[in-house]
Amino acid sequence: MPILQLKMHPGRTIEQKKAFVREATRIVVETLVCPLESVEILITEIPKDAWATAGKLKSDG
């Protein structure tokens, strides 16, 4: 059972998320030759004030 985990900042629409999971699932099924029903995708939205790069919060710009 392939499980994909996507972590991103909030702000994508439900339509964008639906398009992502549809296309990501299609690619996984094609590439890994597995049943559609076996693909799981977890989307975690992490606010910019809880995400840092190079010692700086993303919310700080």
Q: Which residues are catalytic?
A: 2
Spatial neighbors of 11 by CB under 8 A, at least 6 apart, are none
For the chain, how long is the longest CA-to-CA vector?
43
Query: Which among 46, 26, 44 has a CA at the least distance from the CA of 36?
Result: 26
